[in-house]
Amino acid sequence: MKNLIITLLLLFQINLSWAIDEEPFDISQPAKIQEANAEFVYKFLLAEIAAQRGDLNSAGHLYFDLARLTKNIPLAQRATNIAGYARNGRLALDSAELWRQLDDSSLEAKQILAELFISSGNLAKARPLIENLLILEKTRAEGFLYLNNLLTKVENKKNALRFILAVARPYPALAEAHFSIAHTAYFAGDLKLTENELDIVESINPQWETAALFRGFIMAKDWPEKALEFYKSFLNKNPKSNEVRLEYAKTLTSLKRYVEAKKEFLKLVDGSLASPEISLTVALLSLELNDNLLAEKFFNQSLERGYSQQDKIQIYLARIYNKRGDYKKALSTLDKIVSGELFVDAKLLATEIIAQNESTDKAIESLSIYKNIGPSDKLRFLQAKTSLLINNGRQQDAFDLMRSEDKNYADSAAFKFDYAMLAEKMDNLLLMEQLLKEAIKIKPDFALAYNALGYSYADRNIKLADAKKYIEIALSIQPKNHYIMDSMGWLHYRLGNLDIALKFTQKAYAIQKDPEIAAHLGEIYWKKGKVDEAKRLWKESLTNNPSNTVLNETYKRFN
C-alpha cells in the first residue's frame, strides 16, 4: 500500500512530506503547506479508485479540489480530462481555467478552455484565447481549420459567423482564414458570403483541394451537373488531385453515369488513394455495367488489400462464378464463410445454386445439416426450403412441410404469415384467415398481415367493411408502403369509389411499377372510360413482366 501511494504521488510530482491547509484559494498566493496530511492522501486515493470504477464525476471533483489546494498542474490537467470524459461541462470549464491559471504558457490548456467556451456558446470568453493562439504563425493555418469543426457545433450560427469574421480580420492574406469564414457562412445560411470568400481562397491558393472539395460539395447538393463541371475543370488544371477525382467519380455514380465513373475510379485504384474500398467500388460499378471479368479482378484486389468485410466480397464472387457456369467454384467460395453475419446468407445462396445446377432435394438436404443455429435463422432456412419446393412446382410438398413445422412456431408471427400465404395458394382460405388473425394477435403492429387479410376480402369482393378496417390499420402503420396503397385503391374500386381508387393506385404505381399494381390501375382506367390509357399501361408492363399471371389474366379479360 505504501509503495502504491508513493508511485501515485510521484506521478503527479507531489512531495510526500507536505499537504495543504484548506484555506480560501487565491492563485496569486503560494500554496501553504504543512506536514503530511492523511486526509489529502485519502482523497487522492479515493479519486483514483473512483476513476477506475467509472465514477468519473466524483473522480473529477476530487482531482479538481486537490489541484486547487495544491496548485498542482498535472492534477488540474487530470481533472480537466476526466471532467471531459464525464461530459461535465461546468467542472471541465472550472478545471481548464485552473489549469490555464497555473500554467499560462500551456497552449493545450488555452486550447481546451477555448473549445469549452465555444461548445457552451460563450464566444465572448473564447475570443481572446483564440486570438492569442492564432498569433503563433506556425499553427495559425491549422488553427483556422480546427475552428471550422468547433463552430459547426455552435447553435447560434449567426453568432459563430460574427465570431470568425472578427478573429479572421487580421489575416487578409491567409487562405485558411477566408476558408473558415466561407465554411461558417455556409452553415449560417449566407451563401453569397460563402461564394465570395471561396473566390478569395481560390485567388490566394488555386490548387487547394480542401477548398475545391467544399465548393463542389455545396454545388452538388442542388446542382450536381454544375458540380461535375467544376470538378472536371479543377482536375484539368490539377490532374494529380486524387481527393477531388474521388468526389468527381462519386458524383458521376450518383447520377448513374457509370461508364464515366468507372474510368475515374480506375485512375484512382492504383494511385495515392488506393484502398480496398476504392477497389470494391470499381468492382461494383463493373457489375452494374455487366463487366464480370473486371468485377472479379477488383473484388479480388479488394480482398488482397484487406477489405474488412471479406465475406461480403466472397458472396459477390460466388454469384459471378455461378453466372459464368462454374457452380462448383461458387460453392467452394461460399464454403469460406464459416461464421458471422453473412453465414446464413451464404448458405441460402448455396442452396439456390445447388437447386439450379443439381436438384431441389439436394438443395434442401444441404440445409438440413445445420442444427446449432438460432430460431430466426431456422425460420429463414424453413422459408428457403418452402420457396425451393414452390419454385419446383411442388406446392403440396411445401404446404405439408409448413404444416409439419406449425407446432414449432406457435409464437412466430412471421411463420404464420408465410404459412397463410401458402394456404392461400392452396385455396385453403379459411386456414389463411385463421393464420393471419393469429399473426396479428402475436404482433399487433404487423402491417403486412392486416393488409393481406384486408386485400383478400377486397379481392374476393366480400366483407368489404372488414377489409377497409384492416387496410386502414395497415396503412396507419406503414403509410408509404405501395402494396398497402394498392390494396386501399383496390378496395375503393370494389366499393365503386373510382376517383379515390385511382388516387391510391396511381400513387402506389409511382413508387413501384409492380405488374399487379399495373393490372389494377389499368382496370380502374378502363372503368373510368380511359381505355387507351389502360391498354398502353398493360402493354408497357407486359413488356417488362411477360409471365406475370395477374397481369396476363387482366389483359386477356378486357381484350
Q: Which 3-state string (H, E, C) describes 1-55? A: CHHHHHHHHHHCCCCCCEEECCCCCCCCCCCCEEECCHHHHHHHHHHHHHHHCCC
Residues 6 or more apart in contact with residue 485 via CB below 8 angstroms: 475, 504, 505, 507, 508, 511
Q: At what angle do helices 447-460 and 482-495 cross, to 10 degrees?
A: 30
Q: Considering just the CA atoms, what is the radius of gyration of the chain in Å?
A: 34
In contact, 63 and 79? CB cutoff 8 Å: yes
Superfamily of 371-444 according to CATH: Tetratricopeptide repeat domain (1.25.40.10)
Sign of CA dihedral 30, 33, 38, 41: positive
Q: Which amino acid is at 295?
A: A
- Of 219, 275, 269, 277, the C-alpha closest to 245 is 269
Amino acid sitting at position 213: L
Angstrom CA distances, 325 to 320, 322, 330, 331, stand at: 9, 5, 9, 12
Q: What is the pLDDT of residue 481?
A: 95
- Predicted confidence at residue 148, as pLDDT, reads 83
pLDDT at 75: 85
| Domain residue ranges of the chain, discontinuous segments joined by + | 218-308, 371-444
Question: In terms of Cα–Cα distance, which of 149, 141, 183, 153 is closest to 165?
Answer: 183
- 137 to 175, 462, 499: CA distances (angstroms): 13, 82, 71
The topology (CATH level 3) of 218-308 is: 1.25.40
Q: Mean pLDDT for each 10-residue chunk of the chain (559 residues)?
A: 44 41 39 50 78 81 81 84 80 78 78 78 80 78 84 86 90 92 92 94 94 93 92 92 89 90 84 81 88 92 92 96 95 93 93 94 89 86 92 93 92 95 94 96 96 95 95 95 96 95 95 94 94 93 90 89
HSE-up of 555 (CA within 13 Å, CB side)? 22
Show Cβ contacts of residue 227 under 8 Å, excluding neighbours closer than 6 positions: 216, 217, 219, 220, 251
Same fold, 218-308 and 371-444: yes
- pLDDT number for residue 28: 40
The residue among 61, 70, 80 whose CA lies nearest residue 27 is 70
- pLDDT given at position 49: 83
